[in-house]
Structure 1
Amino acid sequence: MAKRPTSQNVADMAGVSKWTVIRAFTPGASITEESRAKVMAAAGQLNYRPNLLARSLATNLTHQVAILVDDFENPHKLPVLERLTLELQAEGLVPMLVNINERFGHVHALLNAGQRQVDAVILFGTAFRNETLQDARLEGAAPMFVLARDSQIPGVPAISCDATIAIEELCAHLREQGYRRPGFMAGPQTLSTALGRRRSFKTFWVRHGVEHVPELPAKSYSMTSGAEAVRHYLQETSAGDRIDVLMCENDALALGALDVLRSEFGLRVPQDIAVAGFDNIMFADAPAYDLTTYEQPIEDMVKTTIDMILGRRERQTVQLRGRLVVRGSTKRT
């Protein structure tokens, strides 16, 4: 294997010092355009690329960002990851995806990321808890950011869709359509990821005279769990006592519920039971589902997170407004 060219090789060919080569590849460094042009020409001929690892030792920055994900069953994750990694790379940052599971927990992942000297950690999942992330071993860890979820962790900013506004808009639409017996399907709840959607949903209906809002608990944010939850509810509840609209905490749950309502119980949507979701995933607008949902402002959330990581914006919790998308699964008129 051929030996890689060094900065000294480039300097010799360009007729400049080694430090001039280093400045030429350092954004914002002081160097004349003439010297930069010489360095770049020589680097091109030698096929030279700067050693980022060596640079990180000098700057104390690795330009690596760890992304911790713990619920890959949720189809909403893919478009967000696509946008997030695209924007990180555009800023010269290297995303490092970490699969959190029963064998590789959050503390283990954060300690591992610390050893790799990542510049920041983005928590993009549902299972992390306050007490876990406040483990004494994590003292001095890289700055953490929670994306697309609420956070109750002191010092850890959350960048999310404003759940209060979103649910208010969704519920106002449902009430306008004449629904009066609402139910809510919630995914697994943890201390630090209480999404606020369930709370806002119940608050709206209590304010409008509906004291009891049945809850359909789901084991995970997946179509399978959504199907299981609605199946159990329909089996245990007589037709006359059932809800007339089901709000699901995310679209994956809603799609699973729709499949069971129609194919297993022969119910009409929305005539017998209406269904709404949250996220506006790629399958939501398919004719088979035609799901009313709420679209999160992914691009704005991602850009806000990266601005905080790069110090262009103060690190603080931010809630952004999304967009209501009305489709046939709730429209009576």
Structure 2
Amino acid sequence: MRKRATAKQVAEAAGVSKWTVIRAFTPGASITEESKRRVLESAARLNYTPNLLARSLATKSTGQIAVFVDDFANPQKLPFLETLTEQLQAVGRVAMLININNHFDHVHALLHADQRQVDAIILFGTAFRDETLTDRQLGNGTPPMFVLARDSQIDGVPAVVCDAELALRDIVDHLYSRGYRRPGFMSGAPALSTALRRREYFSKFWSEKGITHVEQLSAQKYSLQAGALGIRNYLSDTSGKERIDVLMCENDILALGAMDEMRGRFDLRIPEDIAVVGFDNYELGGSSAYSLTTYEQPLREMVSIIIRMIKGEVDPETVTLPGELVVRSST
């Protein structure tokens, strides 16, 4: 490999000190326009770029943000990750994506992230165990942690999340106004240290309308196949007259899988036989094949706030934001 040009070589070519070269590549540093011009011209000739890892030793900041994800089967993760990486890069940070699942120990993953000298950790999944996140091995030097798009149940770890109470009130009000009276709720992956609370609020608001029983369906994870299996098990075990008349799914991916199964295997009409509503406003759900009623999270604003917390521009505290009900023909 060809050796990289060094700051010392650029300094000699530009006739300045090594520290002047460093200041030329440091935003906001004190340096004359003439000195900066000479440094940048010499750097271009030598194809020099600053070593960010070496600079981090002095600044105590690497610009790297670890993002922990476990449920990669959920395609709704992609819009969030796209927005997150886009906004991080816009402020000079980069994301380090770390796969957290049953094959990887959470404590070791956190230690690995810390050894990489990341500036912060974003928890973006379902199975972050409180007892391991607070393990004594981590000590006080662990980077600050934040939860994105779920409620945090970990002391000292703030979250930025869509307001589930407001969202489910809007959804239940809409369904009730359309005449549905036999609701069901399909939940996804069980959460350990982060939660959605959508099932809790769904049952609460139906109860306020005098309907105390909400049929509970479980999909175990967030995927099309899991949604299909969840509704298949329910419909196979429940006769037509006893079935729910509306199914709320914890996210759109479960809803799409359930809709395919209801139409393909059971020849049911949507919404005439069973109405369906999801959550997230996943792009495919808006197609004419599904026309899924859903709830859209304020994705860009949520990501923006968590980045401002990481940068220290706002206090690190849990923030809930309102979203928007999107009504389509599935209800």
Give the TM-score band, short-chain normalised.
over 0.9
**Structure 1 residue runs of 4+, over 6 Å off?**
none
Mapped contact 2:293–2:327 kept (Cα < 8 A): yes
Task: Extract unaligned runs of 5+ from structure 2.
Answer: none
Please, what TM-score do these two structures have when normalized by structure 1? Answer: 0.97
Instruction: For residue 102 of structure 1, report the CA deviation from its aligned partner.
Output: 2.1
Q: Distance in 1 between matches of 2:102 and 2:229?
A: 23
Pair 1:164-2:176 in alignment: no
Q: Distance in 1 between matches of 2:270 and 2:2?
A: 66
What do the CA deviations read for 1:76-119 (whole angstroms, capped 9, x no partner)?
Answer: 00111111111111111121111112221322211110111111
| Matched ranges for 1:216-231 at <5 A | 216-231=217-232
| Matched ranges for 1:176-215 at <5 A | 176-215=177-216
> Matched residue of 1:284: which SS?
helix
Q: Distance in 1 between matches of 2:104 and 2:65?
A: 18
What do the CA deviations read for 1:269-310 (whole angstroms, capped 9, x no partner)?
Answer: 001100000011121012111100011111011111111111
Q: Distance in 1 between matches of 2:221 and 2:168?
A: 21
RMSD: 1.1
Q: Distance in 2 between matches of 1:230 and 1:193?
A: 25
Q: Distance in 2 between matches of 1:32 and 1:273?
A: 70
Mapped contact 2:190–2:220 kept (Cα < 8 A): no
Q: Which residue of 2 aligns with 1:4?
A: 4
Q: Which residue of 1 aligns with 2:59?
A: 59
| Matched ranges for 1:141-160 at <5 A | 141-160=142-161
Instruction: For residue 190 of structure 1, report the CA deviation from its aligned partner.
Output: 2.3
Q: Distance in 2 between matches of 1:191 and 1:77?
A: 18
Please, what TM-score do these two structures have when normalized by structure 2? Answer: 0.97
Counterpart residue type for residue 11 of structure 2: A
Instruction: For residue 160 of structure 1, report the CA deviation from its aligned partner.
Output: 1.0
| Matched ranges for 1:65-144 at <5 A | 65-139=65-139, 140-144=141-145
Instruction: For residue 34 of structure 1, report the CA deviation from its aligned partner.
Output: 2.0
Task: Extract unaligned runs of 5+ from structure 1.
Answer: none
What do the CA deviations read for 1:168-198 (whole angstroms, capped 9, x no partner)?
Answer: 1111111111111111101122232221111
Q: Distance in 2 between matches of 1:177 and 1:34?
A: 71
What do the CA deviations read for 1:15-37 (whole angstroms, capped 9, x no partner)?
Answer: 21111111111122111222212
> Matched residue of 2:152: which SS?
coil
**Percentage identity across paired residues of the two chains:** 62
Q: Distance in 2 between matches of 1:235 and 1:193?
A: 32
Q: Distance in 2 between matches of 1:114 and 1:48?
A: 29
